[in-house]
Every structure is written in structure tokens, then in C-alpha cells.
A and B are shown apart, each in its own frame.
Chain A
Amino acid sequence: MQLLVNGQAHEVDAGAERTLLSVLRHEVGLTGTKYGCGEGNCGACTVLLDGEATRSCITPVASAAGREITTIEGVEGLADGDGLHPVQEAFARESAFQCAYCTPGFIVSTVALLERNPKPDRKQIRAALSGHICRCGTYPRILKAVETAAELMGGQTGDTA
């Protein structure tokens, strides 16, 4: 089966019933996407499927074939210019993590959120990220980081809007 991950085609030999998470981590070798629960309850495994935040631990790999898959490793590539995506930059700047095991998932979901809603209010941010768990409890910083990211991106897209 062929998977399109971060703009690159990967031929993988995997049973259709395997999860996208398992195939990404074990066959494609991208370990930035994390396993946290395997049940769709924590958000650690979030990737973008055609731009939409998706729990890869409960997504059969077959259903991702032929779609554009973006993992945390591909987030930089979504930004204009080199270096970190503004969402990554904002998480780094606000130190919106401790152990950071949850961070790839939060960042990927935030990218999707800001794509469809460039200026979310706190309530919208909370709603969009309510499926994620950060056990280190860095939520106050994550809220701030999402706002910072929105500002950074507003600056970038301002002229074209």
C-alpha cells in the first residue's frame, strides 16, 4: 500500500487492519507521533489527514492511503519559509511543555485549528484541544502558546487576507 507522508510517497507492507499510528512509527520510521492510550482518548497520536486533525491510533491504515498525511515531522514544511512553523515557535517560546510527550499532538491539532479559525478565542481553543491530555499540566501555557501562534501567523498572512 502506498502512503503519502509529509509530501513523500512510502510503499509499506502492512495489513489493512493495522493502525496508522503503528505503521507510521514502525514502518515509516517516524516516531514523533506518540502512543498515549491507543483508544482515541489522549490525542498524543494526532496527525493531519488532508489537513484534518485525526487520532492515528484508531485510524486503520487503509483508510489513510491516498490521502495527505502530515505528522509532527512534516509541520515545518507547512510553514512559509525555513525553520519552525509558527505553532512550534510559539510552543517553544512559551515553554508550553514539560516532558513534551504530549507536545507533537497538541501542535498538530493547533495547526489544524488555526487553519480553519485563525483567531480563536479561549473557549474555542479549549474546545479544539479538549481531546488531548497533558499530564504535566501545562495547559495554561498551551492556551498562551496557541494565542501566540495565532498572532505570529496573523502577522504572516495579514497582507494576503
Chain B
Amino acid sequence: MSELIYEKKGVIVHIKGPVVIAEGMRGARIREVVYVGDERLIGEIVRIEGDKAIIQVYEPTGGVKSGEPVERTGEPLSAELGPGLLGQVLDGLGRPLEVIAEEAGGPFITRGIKALTLPRDKKWHFTPLKRVGDEVVSGDVLGTVPEGSIIHKIMLPPTIEKAKILEIVPEGDYTIEEPIAIVEHIGGKEEIRMYHKWPVRTPRPFKEKLAPVELLVTGQRVIDTFFPIVKGGTSAVPGGFGTGKTVTLHQISKWADADVVVYVGCGERGNEMTDLLHTFPKLVDPKSGRPLLERSVLIANTSNMPVPAREASIFMGITYAEYYRDMGLHVVLTADSTSRWAEALRELSSRLEEIPSERGYPAYLPDYIASFYERAGRIKVSGDRDELGSVAVIGAVSPSGGDLNEPVTQHTMRYVGAFWALDKDLAFKRHFPSINWLRSFSKYTSGLKNWWIDNTGHDMMAYRDKAMDLLQRASSLEEVARVVGEAALSDENRLVLLSAELIKEGFLVQNAYHEVDTYCSPKKQALLLKTLLEFYDRTRPMIDAGVPISRIAEMRSLGALRRLKFIPEEEFEDAVKEALAQLESEISSLLAEVR
């Protein structure tokens, strides 16, 4: 008796929303991609029971009937990796939105569209770096092509451990489908193209993980100075609606000093993606002088697009990020919002009738969140080269009811190095970014002392501590003032409030839509904070000398100090000198009055 162990095609026996059950699927594997029904909708096998496969379908299933076929592909859900990713706008499955629009013949997304991520007809200028006869290992660079603002390294894929080059093409223009080399390895001869596929749920290999040490400059003062993130670090941005999560992620993807940015719009607004699509081609990357879009990969799986694809989109994005990291580049991945991603998981879990844990999320939620953030890091790349690459991951979290005690926020908090807790009350006051300085944290500050000294000449972390001390004192005084009124506080305490107010208005508040204020270099941040701190140091003795606080609060130089942040970098140093001079002269005349 022989036993049937492999069937190429199955038959649908049940459809309930995005979950479809098919029979006759012997030999199928978990995570295998399948085409479902007559319209060949894209799906992924999530569970196997005997010859039955339970499939999560990435497209709407309305109209699908039992009896329709399910076709196996034999492959897991994979990302296409090669030149042509930068500048792309993809859906959660890696299909270019422009191609979807062409295939659909209109602005609405229809079903069953198959579209490859990378353009097949475009020629890339390939320069070989290896010669016939060379021995290579996975990760070795066979050659390079210029792509957008970077030099794209064509590497021996991780699937080939070790090989010998039999043939390699001369410098010239090739499409990604044309073989650029033939290598020989244990398994035999293999043609190498400029792209390969990688299963999105499997982290890409590297040689070694290293501690992250270098500031990821975002140009956002409260982040860089107070709650910094590093290259290869992780951060979460939790906050209720309207507190500024999306603007924060947009700002970082615009201004961060990274080589490549991957932006994943996961279950959020359509117009927010459109906003990026409108601004990215117009903004110039200060590093390369080229449009920002050329260093970016945008993934848009908006809230009205199929829920299961949200789940895939995050993994798709991190795989792209790792690929550029492997070239020795610094990559930033921003995900808006990881909560929608976790909710997609919850929905699938409930459709599969798994036992729910907290708030209906499956018990494996923490592992799932960890598996994403763990793919961040600063690493030594594979292959025979001494290069470092990094992926920093920044995820928005959208807690229901704005309550940070919910499972996604709580579990995320355990895995991230920085935590920017957004505050509804600050947002209502239009204090943006609404990062609450008492509830946020960054584990990276202590390692950055020297970075600031080396790069700005300022001991910024000392300024930070001083400013933080003022802010904390002010916060407890405010508690008191809320009960007795500010007027009942001593002048000394009211000066603390005034100085903290100056730090808030003059430093922490940063307008993303202001031409100058939208970005602040580390140098400017350091000088600005130092100057604002001087206000307290210089005015503190005036209180002892008997100058009433009301007179100090009226000083015109205070207005100048509050507005210093709006001065462009080139004029900044002069403006600081002028403001300080004005402060000094006001101080002396006030002191003269009381004497």
C-alpha cells in the first residue's frame, strides 16, 4: 500500500471572512503561500489538520464558494530583494500600488491582482567586484549598482554558504532577471541574479550583534536630547488619537540621519500615506542632496485595506530593512501602528477559535511583539568584510482609550530601549511633540555622553540632567499651585516655574510645520539648551537681591529667548549672543532699581 503524501491542489470546504478551510492539501506546510478560489486570491496557510489546511486570505473573500480550488505555491511568504526597492510604494504584500492601479484599471483596489515588487525591465549599471575563480561566502559583494541615493551592493544570498565564481559579467547595464554570475557550490552550479527572495518571517543572518552606541539624530529636540534613540536601537511611541504619533514618525522618516528609511503604514489613514507621497519627492535628503523618496521604501496597508495583510506588512518592511542593513547601511524602520498589527493577529486568533488571553489577544502576543523588535540592532555584516550595519525600529502604539495599561503597550515597553509616552493634556494645549518628560524613558542616554562632546563640543547630557531637574521641580510645584494658586508660592519657587516654562516653550515645543523649527541640529540643540538654562542661573540671585518675580517675568529678553529656536542655524550664534546681552542689560538695570 502506498500513501498519498503530496497534493498540488486542494478544494475549499469552508469560508468565514478571511479564514478559508481547504481539503486535499496533503504535504502542505505552515506559512506556505496559496492561491485561493477561482480569482486566485493570495493566502497563507496558518494551520494544518490532517489533509485540511486553514488559510488566512489576504484579500476580501466575498463571493468565494466551497468547491473552488486552492493552488499551492510551495513557497513561504517572501520579499523580493534587489535594486528597485527604493522609491517604491507597496502594499502589505509587496505589490507596487501603481501596478495595482494599472491592473485594476482605476483608483479602487480590486482582487486577485498579482504584481511583482521589483521592476523587471529596468536596467541597472552593474560593476563587478569579483573575478572568475574567486572563492566567495554568503554576504560577499559580487558587484554594485547605483540605486537612488545609495550604492546598492549585490551580495551572495544567505542561501549559498560558500561558492566559487565560474563566470561573472563585465561592467554594463543589466536587468534583474539577467544572470550576472554563475557560481559553483556543494549543491551544483547556480545562476546569480541581482535579486533574490527571502521569507519575511525569518530574520536575515549576520555575523554578530553589537551594542548600539551612536545617536540617531532625528532633529527633534525632545527626542535627541531627552529621550534619544541610537542607530540600531528601538523605540515605541504610545499615545491616544491626536497626540502626535504619526507626525513624530513622519518627522523621523524625513529628518533622521539614516541611509535608508522604511515606512510602514499599517492599518492607518489613507491620506497620511498620500501626504508622504506628496512631500517625499519634494524634500531633499541633506546627506545625498537627492529627493527623500529615493532613500525610502513606503508600505501602505491602510485601515480599509484587508486586515490580514496588516500582519504581513510589518514583516515585509523589516525584511527590506535588514536587506539594506546587510549592505552596511544605517536603516530606520517606522511602523504606524503596531497596535493595528497586533489587532490583526487578535482577529485571526479569534477566527481560529484560539483561547483568548488579556483583552482577547492570544497568549503568544508578547513573543510576537518581541520577534519584531528583536530584528532591530547594530550588527557586523555577513561575508568577508568588516562592515557594520544597523536597523533602528520605531513603532507607534495606539492604546484603546489612551490607556497605557493595555497589553500591547505593556508588552512593547519591555522590549524597547526608548519609550516616548505621548500625553493628551499636552496635545490639547498644542504642546507638540506631546512627549511627557516624566513618563518617558531612554536607556541610551548614559552611553551618549561622549557622542555629544565629540560631535558638538558640549556636555549635553549634563545640560539634560540640569534641565530635567528644573522640569521635575516645576512639576511638583505645579501640583501645589493647583491647590493654592501660583500667587501663593514664594518668588523663588515661581522663578523655577518660569524657568521650566522657558525650557518647555523654548526647547521642548517644536513645530513640525515651521520652516526652521521642523529640524534642529545637535549643535543648535546644545547651544539652545545651554542658553536657556543660563536664564535660571542668572536670574536666581536677583530673587535674593529683592527683585520681585513679576518684574523678572516681564523682561523683554524672555520673549527673545523663547523665540530663539526659530532662528536659522546660520544666524543662531549671533542671535544667542544678542539675547544674552539683552538679558544682562535688563538684569543690571533691575538690580540697579532695587539697590
Interaction A to B: no
Which B residues form the contact surface with A (CB < 8 A)? none
